[in-house]
């Protein structure tokens, strides 16, 4: 086995959002800590019903994206963006932020592959 070398600095990416009045707000999308990841995945597992090792159904998708984003998205003061605010973003913006947050935190196959390359 090769030597394992990791950085424990959380990955982050800058996010800029412009509202309908052309007001620009800067945010940071941060990688989850191990504790946050477990919290998020535990919440997701309560929504999913499995049968024979396969996902059979999801009880509710409400908040699926915002539950992750509230853990990852920070304002310029490093304060979590409120869930209500995130849920007011256009669906396309939420989806893109959600996908980026999943990848940053290794919650997708692409995120897992990227972590292996580090």
pLDDT, position 63:
82
At 84, give phi and psi (nearest 5°).
-60, -40
Q: Pick the more confident residue, 49 or 35.
A: 35
Give 43's pLDDT tier (boundaries 50, 70, 90). confident
Tens of pLDDT, residue by residue over 24-36, are 999 999 999 999 9
Six-digit token pair at 41?
């995945």
pTM of the predicted structure, to 2 decimals? 0.82
3-state secondary structure of 16: strand
* pLDDT at res. 57: 79
* HEC secondary structure over 27-83: EEEECCCHHHHHHHHHHHHCCEEEECCEEEEECCCCCHHHHHHHHHEECCCCCECCH
| Domain boundaries defined on the chain | 12-32+63-112
Residue 24 forms beta bridges with which residues?
18
Q: What is the pLDDT of residues 52-87, one digit of tens each?
A: 777 777 787 788 899 999 999 999 999 999 999 999
Q: Which residues contact 33 (CB under 8 A, 6 or more apart)?
A: 10
Q: What is the pLDDT of residues 13-22, one digit of tens each?
A: 999 999 999 9
């Amino acid at each position: 086995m090769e030597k394992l070398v990791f950085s424990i600095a959380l990955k982050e990416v800058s996010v800029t959002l412009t509202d309908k009045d052309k007001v620009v707000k800067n945010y940071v999308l941060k990688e989850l800590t191990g504790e946050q990841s477990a919290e998020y995945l535990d919440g997701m597992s309560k929504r999913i019903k499995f049968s024979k090792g396969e996902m059979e159904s999801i009880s509710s998708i409400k908040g699926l994206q915002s539950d992750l984003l509230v853990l990852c998205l920070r304002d310029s003061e490093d304060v979590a963006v409120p869930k209500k605010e995130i849920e007011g973003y256009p669906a396309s913006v939420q989806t893109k932020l959600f996908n980026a947050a999943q990848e940053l935190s290794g919650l997708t196959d692409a995120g897992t592959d990227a972590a292996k390359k580090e």
